[in-house]
Structure 1
Amino acid sequence: MTLYILLVILAAIIAYSIFNWVSQRRIAKTLSQEEFVAGYRKAQLIDVREPNEFDAGHILGARNIPLSQLKTRLKELRQDKPVYLYCQSGLRSGRAAQMLHRKGYKELYHLKGGFKQWSGKIKTKS
Protein backbone atom coordinates (compact mmCIF):
# COMPACT_ATOMS: atom_id res chain seq x y z
CA MET A 1 0.00 0.00 0.00
CA THR A 2 2.80 2.45 0.91
CA LEU A 3 4.59 1.67 -2.35
CA TYR A 4 1.35 2.34 -4.27
CA ILE A 5 0.99 5.77 -2.58
CA LEU A 6 4.62 6.64 -3.35
CA LEU A 7 4.15 5.67 -7.00
CA VAL A 8 1.02 7.82 -7.26
CA ILE A 9 2.87 10.79 -5.71
CA LEU A 10 5.83 10.26 -8.04
CA ALA A 11 3.52 10.06 -11.07
CA ALA A 12 1.81 13.30 -10.00
CA ILE A 13 5.16 15.09 -9.65
CA ILE A 14 6.28 13.88 -13.08
CA ALA A 15 2.97 14.90 -14.67
CA TYR A 16 3.17 18.36 -13.07
CA SER A 17 6.76 18.81 -14.27
CA ILE A 18 5.83 17.83 -17.83
CA PHE A 19 2.81 20.16 -17.77
CA ASN A 20 5.01 23.06 -16.58
CA TRP A 21 7.66 22.35 -19.22
CA VAL A 22 5.07 22.23 -22.04
CA SER A 23 3.32 25.41 -20.88
CA GLN A 24 6.64 27.27 -20.62
CA ARG A 25 7.52 26.25 -24.17
CA ARG A 26 4.16 27.60 -25.43
CA ILE A 27 4.53 30.90 -23.55
CA ALA A 28 8.14 31.85 -24.27
CA LYS A 29 10.11 31.08 -27.39
CA THR A 30 13.43 29.47 -26.55
CA LEU A 31 16.22 31.05 -28.58
CA SER A 32 19.75 29.92 -29.41
CA GLN A 33 22.49 32.41 -28.57
CA GLU A 34 22.58 33.58 -32.21
CA GLU A 35 18.80 34.20 -32.28
CA PHE A 36 18.99 35.88 -28.87
CA VAL A 37 21.77 38.24 -30.02
CA ALA A 38 19.86 39.08 -33.20
CA GLY A 39 16.87 40.42 -31.28
CA TYR A 40 17.71 41.52 -27.76
CA ARG A 41 19.00 44.99 -28.66
CA LYS A 42 15.49 45.93 -29.82
CA ALA A 43 13.92 44.49 -26.69
CA GLN A 44 13.98 44.62 -22.91
CA LEU A 45 16.85 42.38 -21.80
CA ILE A 46 16.18 41.08 -18.29
CA ASP A 47 18.45 38.96 -16.10
CA VAL A 48 16.22 37.21 -13.53
CA ARG A 49 19.11 35.93 -11.40
CA GLU A 50 19.80 37.26 -7.92
CA PRO A 51 21.94 40.45 -7.60
CA ASN A 52 25.09 38.60 -6.49
CA GLU A 53 24.91 36.38 -9.60
CA PHE A 54 24.28 39.45 -11.81
CA ASP A 55 27.25 41.32 -10.27
CA ALA A 56 29.54 38.34 -10.90
CA GLY A 57 28.82 38.62 -14.64
CA HIS A 58 25.92 39.42 -16.95
CA ILE A 59 25.13 40.01 -20.61
CA LEU A 60 26.10 43.52 -21.66
CA GLY A 61 23.01 45.76 -21.58
CA ALA A 62 20.92 43.55 -19.27
CA ARG A 63 18.82 44.87 -16.40
CA ASN A 64 18.64 42.83 -13.22
CA ILE A 65 15.11 42.09 -12.04
CA PRO A 66 15.40 38.91 -9.94
CA LEU A 67 12.58 36.38 -10.23
CA SER A 68 12.00 36.86 -6.49
CA GLN A 69 11.20 40.57 -7.12
CA LEU A 70 9.46 40.34 -10.50
CA LYS A 71 5.89 40.60 -9.20
CA THR A 72 6.63 43.84 -7.35
CA ARG A 73 8.67 45.35 -10.21
CA LEU A 74 6.34 44.69 -13.16
CA LYS A 75 5.85 48.42 -13.75
CA GLU A 76 9.50 48.56 -14.90
CA LEU A 77 8.63 46.45 -17.95
CA ARG A 78 6.68 47.63 -20.98
CA GLN A 79 4.04 45.32 -22.43
CA ASP A 80 4.42 46.78 -25.92
CA LYS A 81 8.07 45.70 -26.33
CA PRO A 82 9.51 42.18 -26.49
CA VAL A 83 11.02 40.83 -23.27
CA TYR A 84 14.20 38.75 -23.52
CA LEU A 85 14.83 36.79 -20.34
CA TYR A 86 17.72 34.74 -19.07
CA CYS A 87 18.93 33.18 -15.84
CA GLN A 88 21.77 30.80 -15.01
CA SER A 89 20.38 27.66 -16.68
CA GLY A 90 16.94 28.48 -18.12
CA LEU A 91 14.65 27.35 -15.28
CA ARG A 92 14.01 30.70 -13.59
CA SER A 93 13.59 32.52 -16.92
CA GLY A 94 10.90 29.98 -17.84
CA ARG A 95 9.06 30.68 -14.58
CA ALA A 96 9.47 34.42 -15.13
CA ALA A 97 7.92 34.05 -18.59
CA GLN A 98 4.93 32.21 -17.10
CA MET A 99 4.42 35.01 -14.58
CA LEU A 100 4.71 37.73 -17.24
CA HIS A 101 2.34 35.86 -19.55
CA ARG A 102 -0.30 35.76 -16.80
CA LYS A 103 0.10 39.55 -16.47
CA GLY A 104 -0.55 40.13 -20.18
CA TYR A 105 2.93 40.16 -21.73
CA LYS A 106 2.90 38.51 -25.15
CA GLU A 107 6.36 38.72 -26.76
CA LEU A 108 8.46 36.59 -24.43
CA TYR A 109 11.78 34.95 -25.28
CA HIS A 110 14.39 33.18 -23.22
CA LEU A 111 17.96 32.07 -23.76
CA LYS A 112 18.47 28.35 -24.29
CA GLY A 113 20.80 27.00 -21.62
CA GLY A 114 20.92 30.33 -19.79
CA PHE A 115 23.95 32.43 -18.90
CA LYS A 116 26.17 29.41 -18.30
CA GLN A 117 25.98 28.69 -22.06
CA TRP A 118 26.60 32.33 -23.06
CA SER A 119 29.82 33.02 -24.94
CA GLY A 120 29.14 36.63 -25.95
CA LYS A 121 30.17 39.90 -24.31
CA ILE A 122 29.68 40.13 -20.56
CA LYS A 123 30.06 42.83 -17.94
CA THR A 124 31.11 42.31 -14.35
CA LYS A 125 30.78 44.66 -11.43
CA SER A 126 34.29 45.47 -10.24
Structure 2
Amino acid sequence: MSFKRISIDEAEQLISQRAAQLADIRDEQSFQLGHIAGASHLDNHNLQQFIEAADPDQPLVIYCYHGNSSQSAAQFFVEKDFTEVYSMDGGFEAWRQRYPQQSGQE
Protein backbone atom coordinates (compact mmCIF):
# COMPACT_ATOMS: atom_id res chain seq x y z
CA MET A 1 0.00 0.00 0.00
CA SER A 2 1.17 3.53 -0.63
CA PHE A 3 0.06 7.12 -0.24
CA LYS A 4 -1.73 9.19 -2.87
CA ARG A 5 -0.64 12.56 -4.23
CA ILE A 6 -3.48 15.06 -4.38
CA SER A 7 -3.88 18.63 -5.59
CA ILE A 8 -4.60 21.48 -3.22
CA ASP A 9 -8.20 21.57 -4.49
CA GLU A 10 -8.62 17.86 -3.80
CA ALA A 11 -7.10 18.37 -0.36
CA GLU A 12 -9.49 21.24 0.40
CA GLN A 13 -12.46 19.06 -0.58
CA LEU A 14 -11.22 16.18 1.54
CA ILE A 15 -10.66 18.45 4.53
CA SER A 16 -14.06 20.12 4.29
CA GLN A 17 -16.08 16.97 3.50
CA ARG A 18 -14.49 14.30 5.62
CA ALA A 19 -12.75 16.02 8.50
CA ALA A 20 -9.31 14.78 7.49
CA GLN A 21 -6.39 14.97 9.86
CA LEU A 22 -3.76 17.51 8.78
CA ALA A 23 -0.03 17.25 9.38
CA ASP A 24 2.27 20.21 8.69
CA ILE A 25 5.91 19.10 8.51
CA ARG A 26 7.47 22.52 7.90
CA ASP A 27 9.67 24.13 10.54
CA GLU A 28 8.11 25.60 13.69
CA GLN A 29 8.63 29.24 12.69
CA SER A 30 6.91 28.74 9.32
CA PHE A 31 4.03 26.97 11.05
CA GLN A 32 3.65 29.86 13.51
CA LEU A 33 3.56 32.38 10.65
CA GLY A 34 0.69 30.56 8.96
CA HIS A 35 -0.80 27.12 8.40
CA ILE A 36 -4.00 25.41 7.33
CA ALA A 37 -6.64 25.66 10.05
CA GLY A 38 -6.70 22.54 12.18
CA ALA A 39 -3.25 21.32 11.17
CA SER A 40 -0.90 19.69 13.66
CA HIS A 41 2.73 20.72 13.45
CA LEU A 42 4.87 17.59 13.37
CA ASP A 43 8.57 17.31 14.12
CA ASN A 44 10.83 14.75 15.76
CA HIS A 45 9.70 15.88 19.22
CA ASN A 46 5.99 15.16 18.85
CA LEU A 47 5.83 12.62 16.03
CA GLN A 48 5.33 9.56 18.25
CA GLN A 49 2.70 11.38 20.30
CA PHE A 50 0.80 12.26 17.11
CA ILE A 51 0.95 8.66 15.87
CA GLU A 52 -0.44 7.39 19.17
CA ALA A 53 -3.25 9.99 19.27
CA ALA A 54 -4.25 9.96 15.59
CA ASP A 55 -6.90 7.73 14.07
CA PRO A 56 -5.08 5.50 11.54
CA ASP A 57 -8.33 4.90 9.63
CA GLN A 58 -9.20 8.59 9.18
CA PRO A 59 -7.79 10.37 6.10
CA LEU A 60 -4.43 12.05 6.78
CA VAL A 61 -3.26 14.93 4.58
CA ILE A 62 0.42 15.81 4.91
CA TYR A 63 1.94 18.99 3.56
CA CYS A 64 5.27 20.78 3.54
CA TYR A 65 6.52 23.86 1.69
CA HIS A 66 6.16 22.76 -1.94
CA GLY A 67 4.97 19.13 -1.85
CA ASN A 68 8.30 17.30 -1.99
CA SER A 69 9.19 16.39 1.62
CA SER A 70 5.58 15.48 2.30
CA GLN A 71 5.88 12.49 -0.03
CA SER A 72 8.49 10.73 2.11
CA ALA A 73 6.54 11.67 5.25
CA ALA A 74 3.37 10.23 3.69
CA GLN A 75 5.17 6.97 2.94
CA PHE A 76 6.34 6.87 6.58
CA PHE A 77 2.72 7.04 7.78
CA VAL A 78 1.69 4.29 5.35
CA GLU A 79 4.40 2.13 6.92
CA LYS A 80 2.92 2.98 10.34
CA ASP A 81 -0.37 1.38 9.16
CA PHE A 82 -2.31 4.55 8.37
CA THR A 83 -4.83 3.43 5.76
CA GLU A 84 -5.58 6.63 3.82
CA VAL A 85 -2.58 8.95 3.48
CA TYR A 86 -2.24 11.89 1.09
CA SER A 87 0.65 14.15 0.13
CA MET A 88 -0.53 17.58 -0.99
CA ASP A 89 1.15 18.63 -4.23
CA GLY A 90 2.31 22.24 -4.20
CA GLY A 91 2.50 22.32 -0.42
CA PHE A 92 1.56 25.24 1.78
CA GLU A 93 2.90 27.80 -0.69
CA ALA A 94 0.36 26.72 -3.32
CA TRP A 95 -2.38 26.43 -0.69
CA ARG A 96 -1.67 29.97 0.59
CA GLN A 97 -2.01 31.39 -2.91
CA ARG A 98 -5.22 29.48 -3.67
CA TYR A 99 -6.91 29.74 -0.24
CA PRO A 100 -5.51 32.85 1.49
CA GLN A 101 -8.52 33.07 3.79
CA GLN A 102 -7.74 29.58 5.15
CA SER A 103 -4.02 30.12 5.67
CA GLY A 104 -3.79 32.13 8.85
CA GLN A 105 -2.64 31.59 12.37
CA GLU A 106 -4.87 30.02 14.98
Decide: shared fold, TM above 0.5: yes
TM-score if structure 1 supplies the norm length?
A: 0.70
The DSSP-based 3-state class of the residue aligned with 1:93 is helix
**1-structure distance, mates of 2:36, 2:13:** 14
Letter in 1 for 2:12: V
TM-score if structure 2 supplies the norm length?
A: 0.81
Q: CA deviation at 1:94?
A: 1.0
Higher Rg of the two aligned structures? 1
Asked whether the equivalents of residues 70 and 96 of structure 1 are also in contact (C-alpha less than 8 Å), the reply is no
Instruction: Point out which structure has higher relative CO (alpha carbons under 8 A, 6+ apart).
Output: 2
Q: How many residues align?
A: 99
User: Residues 18-75 of structure 1, C-alpha deviation per residue, up to 9 Å, x if partnerless?
Assistant: xxxxxxxx72211111111100132101111121110011112212123x34642211
Asked whether the equivalents of residues 86 and 93 of structure 1 are also in contact (C-alpha less than 8 Å), the reply is yes
Name the Cα RMSD after superposition.
Answer: 1.8
Whose helix fraction is larger, Structure 1's or Structure 2's? 1
User: Residues 73-98 of structure 1, C-alpha deviation per residue, up to 9 Å, x if partnerless?
Assistant: 21122112110110111122112111
Task: Provide the residue aligned with 1:122 in structure 2.
Answer: 103
